[in-house]
Amino acid sequence: MQIDRRQFIGAAAGGGAAAALAAWMPAWAQPVSPGFKAQLPTVSGDDITLRIARQTMRVEGKVARAIGINGTIPGPLIRLREGQRARLTVVNELDEDSSIHWHGLILPFQMDGVPGVSFPGIKPCSTFVYEFPVVQAGTYWYHSHSGLQEQLGHYGPIVIDPKDVDPIGYDREHVIVLSDHSRLSPEAIFRKLKVNPGHFNMQRQTLGGLLAGKDQSLKERVEWGAMRMDPTDIADVNGSTYTFLVNGHGPSDNWTALFAPGERVRLRIVNASAMSIFNVRVPGLRMTIVQADGLNVVPLPVDEFQIGVAETYDVIVTPVEDRAYSFVAEVNDRSGMARATLAPRAGMIAAVPPLRKRPLATMKDMGMGAMGGDAPCPAEHAAMRHCMPAADAGADHAAMGHGAGGMNHSMRDFDVAPQVKRDPSVQTISPMPVDRMGEPGQGLEDAQRKVMTYRDLVALDRNPDFRAPGRSLDIHLTGNMERFMWSFDGVKMSDHHEPIPFIEGERVRVNLINDSMMVHPIHLHGHFFELVTGKGDRAPRKHTVIVQPGGIATFDFTADALGDWAFHCHLLYHMHAGMMRVVSVRPKEDAA
Amino acid sequence: MMPASLLLAGLCAFALVPPAAAQSDHAVHGSAPSAPAADEPVAMDHGDGGQMDMEPSTTCAPEHAAMGHCTPEATDAAEAPADPACPPEHAAMGHCAPAASTPTAASGAVGTDLPPGDSPAPPVPDDWYADRLYPEGEMEHSRHVMMQESGGLTTAFLSFSLAEYQARKGRDGYRWEAEGWYGGDINRITLKSKGEGAFGEAIESTETQLLYSRAVGPYFNLQAGVRQDAGHGPDRTYATVGFEGLAPYWFEVEGALFLSNKGDLSGRIEGYYDQRITQKLILQPMAEFNFAAQDAPEIGIGSGLSDMELGLRLRYEVVREFAPYVGFEWARKFGDTARFARAAGEDASGVSFVMGVRAWF
């Protein structure tokens, strides 16, 4: 299946024209954007060579320093076929160590590409050969796992064609790699976050806003101030410094994907951002989600969905009209968007919707989810004191002396989470977190349209392992927004956090409990896990899961991949601040 | 839930496949249920370990069965092993010991709908797996770098919270307050400097503190070190212990006790609040109070509340790092401190109009 079967335009030159125009004219003001269709270069076959090198990239006419692969950003599309043996020779032409991690691929741990965990990394001016059997199909991606290189452009998509007929029917496909780009160096971004909390937030509540009747009431502002919580703190790094990219092109570059009216068009969407969680929609078209994190799901028609950093979704759109559509990926704090055009011909544009109002965090985002009384409280969570069933809530509150406001909860009660270290990196502990996998994400709750939630996803194929988990494990996602410290269970990776042990073959239920007011996309290397969303043996299988602020996400997984694996928040600067651990899967005889 | 979703699955399988391909595709499904890609067991190369096959190798997925493409060998319930936590094939591999069947299994729940067991967690391994395959020295080095890069980096910071011109009765003056620090999240070395003077005269007073700072909670740092004063009057050296941090309602507060080399004890508490008017325009009220335990006439300090200072500054953040401001400052000395000042021919209180820059690097 070739990417875009109809090679009927030679409009690559238009790209240069668009970039040149953008340099001296506000992007949105251009009366006619020529648009262009630039395909990612593709590498495939049994022997692939990738070169990592410094280069420049041009975004909306401005040149910036970057790290690319084989001369492009994103790197080339790696197209593999299920069942083949992949041989990827990676040449590091940087003056520092580098690496490539194959995100979502099931492979031997020593080929996973995480320096310090799975291999020693790739030294400057040296080569590493990755070799592994390709045992799966779907949309994945790759990126550096060294330092902050990923932010500079060191990422690219992977598409693996199934060895048999693809159950997803489509006439044409496009790969859409979403990412974020800043003219600040990643080191500078991280430092600013460290020394000036909320540095990039240009949407804070103001006195002007209060007088204009916007945002929270004075009473709420005082209550939130008492807790030292800023409800506008949705994204740490955002549109105040980022330009959001589609396949390396800024919004005004108008990257265009072509279709013929009536075609079933498959969009393979990868969120390769360092820090940006997007809400994706194509105004005027329904999207049918057919794949999540590379694995097929029962087709789910939606109007919008949230894609966390490192997640992938494949959707089918069927535009029947002979007109252009805007593809909009609005960042979750609504400070900017990545934008592309779906069009029957190059050079077309469609109306681009304005940025919507930024959401405000709620009490639920602070882990007081059960307070509202509308949140689901499964028995097993109640038993673990994660929440209170609605029926008991009233009585318990009365017993605890909590008023109707429910504001008396300690925001940092270590009795709620005894395993969490009493550490400055723990700003808050969610007093009553609830399962939020049935929610679409911050700012999408009131949407009048169908927005995907994890609870909507059903695996197309039966789960390979449908045993009950032999045990369960709580992992607390902890952080301090004032110090920009991030950790698991109150311990940063740099504090030599010990590995999380698993026995090969055991099945374990993992509860990810978000004790912070920020969303965290959590990624487990080397495994797929099944989300516990009431789908039995048709649970959606993923490699990355968004844990909503103050909420819980639960998965079952089979520790079937021997070795040490990285486990971390995929927000690059959260990982860089310490939000990472090693997961260790050992043979049973080792544990004896 | 399950019956509905399975029905949906069955319907959607048709919708997914292009009409032309539908027949042949499903013929493949029907004749060889184990063939579809995603049903294939994940073959893992375990290196020195053996091959492990976690999954049942053939499945007749319900939606295919529903379409008559295949016949399930058994129903899910019957297919499920007696102990879902320990299927026979795993028991055979020694992965677990089968237990008595649970009531949940009998109820028809399957997969992720089943409750977890209470098996103990395995011990934490005391070695790193990659060391078995790669040179241990190289792994050790890369592991150290990885851990450092995941929360262990140090930061240097320098800020001028005040750097201003003061217009007032008599000679106009200047004033600065700066702070720099270097370190990690918990432990830092902090340098504080403040001073003031009038134009055309020698610097009136400077105060320099070198402190060890330690994060003692999510919002506060404990600080201890030395302070050296210079300027008018005899120089003094102090030992100091104090705190700084963010109080509820977003007040930035700072306090310290000082013990001088002459045995004099004094204290200070100060704070400010940033009121955002717009995203870039910020009104900052601030207050500072100084106390002393005894009279120290040679440096003009009286016991009790010795002086206070109230300020109101309006700044515009051109960028976050650079904000010019204008404002007022009202300072007043009390009690013996005021008396000492008047005796020295100075005013005990005064108002200044200030303009300056708040900046950090």
Q: pLDDT tens for residues A188-232? A: 999 999 999 999 999 999 999 999 999 999 999 999 999 999 999
Tell me, what's the pLDDT at A497? Answer: 83
Q: Is residue B278 part of a domain?
A: yes
Q: Which amino acid is at B107?
A: S
Q: Is residue A243 part of a domain?
A: no
A residues 350-379 lying closer than 8 A (beta carbon) to B: none
Domain that holds residue B328: 155-360
Mean pLDDT rounded to a whole number for chain A: 88
Q: Which of A107, A169, A226 comes nearest B18 by C-beta?
A: A169
DSSP string, A523-559: EETT--EEE-SS-GGGPPEESEEEE-TTEEEEEEEE-
Tell me if A506 and B96 make a contact (CB, 8 A cut-off): yes
What residues does A307 pair with on adjacent strands?
A278
Tell me, what's the pLDDT at A375? Answer: 43
B159 to chain A: nearest residue by CA? A195
Tell me if B134 and A580 make a contact (CB, 8 A cut-off): no
Q: Which of A108, A298, A426 comes nearest B47 by C-beta?
A: A108
Tell me, what's the pLDDT at A175? Answer: 94
Provide the token pair at A437. Answer: 């996998």
Q: Is residue A206 part of a domain?
A: no
Tell me, what's the pLDDT at A23? Answer: 39
Which ipTM did the prediction report? 0.87
Residues 6+ apart with CB under 8 A from B325: B164, B284, B313, B314, B315, B316, B354, B355, B356, B357, B358
What residues does B140 pair with on adjacent strands?
none
A residues 258-287 lying closer than 8 A (beta carbon) to B: 264
Is A87's Cβ below 8 Å from some Cβ in B? no
A234-256 exposure pattern, b = at least 16 Cβ within 10 A, e = fewer? bbbbbbbbbbbbbbbbbbbbbbb
pLDDT in tens, A403-431: 334 444 688 889 889 999 999 999 999 99
A145 to chain B: nearest residue by CA? B146
Question: Among residues A145, A166, A187, which one ends one of the domains?
Answer: A166
pLDDT in tens, B102-123: 444 456 899 999 999 999 999 9
Q: Which of A204, A466, A590 comes nearest B110 by C-beta?
A: A466
Q: Is residue B5 part of a domain?
A: no
Q: Which residues of A touch B151 (CB under 8 A)?
A: 485-487, 492-495, 576-580
Tell me if A588 and B148 make a contact (CB, 8 A cut-off): no
Between A496 and A547, where is the model more confident?
A547
Asked if the model's pLDDT at residue A380 lies above 90, the reply is: no
Q: Is residue B329 part of a domain?
A: yes
Q: Which residues of A touch B21 (CB under 8 A)?
A: 165, 169
Q: Is residue B324 part of a domain?
A: yes
Closest-CA distance, A98 to chain B, in angstroms, reads: 11
Domain that holds residue A562: 359-592
Closest CA to A271 of A180, A351, A193, A182: A180
B112 to chain A: nearest residue by CA? A536
Helix-strand-coil percent breakdown of chain A, rounded to 5? Answer: 15, 35, 50
Question: Can you give the CATH number for the domain in which B240 is found?
Answer: 2.40.160.40
Q: Which residues of A touch B41 (CB under 8 A)?
A: 464
Closest-CA distance, A381 to chain B, in angstroms, reads: 11
Q: Which of B38, B84, B283 comes nearest A468 by C-beta?
A: B84
Q: Is residue B59 part of a domain?
A: no
Q: Is residue A322 part of a domain?
A: no
Average pLDDT over residues A93-114: 98
Q: Which of B5, B44, B139 comes nearest A538 by C-beta?
A: B5
Provide the token pair at A4. Answer: 């875009």
pLDDT in tens, chain B (361 residues): 344 443 333 333 333 333 333 333 333 333 333 333 333 333 333 433 333 333 333 444 444 434 434 443 333 333 333 344 444 444 434 344 433 334 444 568 999 999 999 999 999 999 999 999 999 999 999 999 999 999 999 999 999 999 999 999 888 999 999 999 999 999 999 999 999 999 998 898 999 999 999 999 999 999 999 999 998 878 899 999 999 999 999 999 999 999 999 999 999 999 999 999 999 999 999 999 999 999 999 989 999 999 999 999 999 999 999 999 999 999 999 999 999 999 988 889 999 999 999 999 9
Closest-CA distance, B329 to chain A, in angstroms, reads: 23
Tell me, what's the pLDDT at A541? Answer: 98
Grade residue A20 by pLDDT with cuts at 50, 70 and 90.
Answer: very low
pLDDT in tens, A132-144: 999 999 999 999 9
Tell me, what's the pLDDT at A408? Answer: 47
Asked if the model's pLDDT at residue A508 lies above 60, the reply is: yes
CA dihedral of A234, A237, A239, A243, whole degrees rounded to 10: -140
Mutation to test the A interface, candidates B16, B181, B360, most A Cβ within 10 Å? B16
Question: Among residues A106, A141, A166, which one ends one of the domains?
Answer: A166
Tell me if A116 and B18 make a contact (CB, 8 A cut-off): no
Mutation to test the A interface, candidates B129, B213, B278, most A Cβ within 10 Å? B129
Q: Which of B9, B250, B279 comes nearest A206 by C-beta?
A: B279
Q: Which residues of A touch B30 (CB under 8 A)?
A: none
Tell me, what's the pLDDT at A589? Answer: 82
Question: Can you give the CATH number for the domain in which A72 is found?
Answer: 2.60.40.420
Tell me, what's the pLDDT at B115? Answer: 96
Mutation to test the A interface, candidates B64, B90, B96, B142, most A Cβ within 10 Å? B142
Tell me if A298 and B111 make a contact (CB, 8 A cut-off): no
Neighbours of B14 (CB within 10 A): 13
Lowest mean pLDDT among A330-334, A384-388, B121-125, B235-239: A384-388
Q: Which residues of B touch A168 (CB under 8 A)?
A: 16-17
Tell me, what's the pLDDT at A220? Answer: 95
Average pLDDT over residues A274-281: 98
Tell me, what's the pLDDT at B232? Answer: 80
A557-580 exposure pattern, b = at least 16 Cβ within 10 A, e = fewer? bbbbbbbbbbbbbbbbbbbbbbbb
Tell me if A225 and B116 make a contact (CB, 8 A cut-off): no
Coil, helix or strand at residue A78: strand
Q: Which of B125, B144, B277 comes nearest A590 by C-beta?
A: B125
Instruction: Determine contact, residues B144/B128, Cβ cutoff 8 Å.
Output: no
Q: Which amino acid is at A4?
A: D
A459 to chain B: nearest residue by CA? B9
Q: Is residue A181 part of a domain?
A: no
Mutation to test the B interface, candidates A165, A358, A413, most B Cβ within 10 Å? A165
Grade residue A42 by pLDDT with cuts at 50, 70 and 90.
Answer: confident
B5 to chain A: nearest residue by CA? A458
pLDDT in tens, A149-175: 999 999 999 999 999 999 999 999 999
**Number of domains chain A is built from:** 2
B214 to chain A: nearest residue by CA? A424
By CB atoms closer than 10 A (0-12, 13-18, 19+), residue B202 is exposed
User: Rounded to the nearest 5 degrees, what angle is found at the Cα of A146, between the Cα atoms of A144 and A151?
Assistant: 60
Average pLDDT over residues A126-130: 98
CA distance B276 to B243: 25
Tell me if A469 and B116 make a contact (CB, 8 A cut-off): yes
3-state secondary structure A110-121: HHCCCECCCECC
**Number of domains chain B is built from:** 1
Instruction: Determine contact, residues A106/A528, Cβ cutoff 8 Å.
Output: yes
Is A492's Cβ below 8 Å from some Cβ in B? yes
Q: Is residue A395 part of a domain?
A: yes
CA dihedral of B57, B61, B67, B70, whole degrees rounded to 10: 20
Phi, psi of B78 (to 5 degrees): -70, -30
Q: Is residue A123 part of a domain?
A: yes
CA distance A584 to A332: 33
What residues does B326 pair with on adjacent strands?
B314, B355
Tell me if B124 and A492 make a contact (CB, 8 A cut-off): no
Beta strand A529-531 with A500-503: parallel, antiparallel or unpaired? unpaired
Between A350 and A388, where is the model more confident?
A350
Question: Among residues A166, A188, A210, which one ends one of the domains?
Answer: A166
Tell me, what's the pLDDT at A39? Answer: 64
Q: Is residue B242 part of a domain?
A: yes
Tell me if A467 and B121 make a contact (CB, 8 A cut-off): no
CA distance A296 to A290: 6
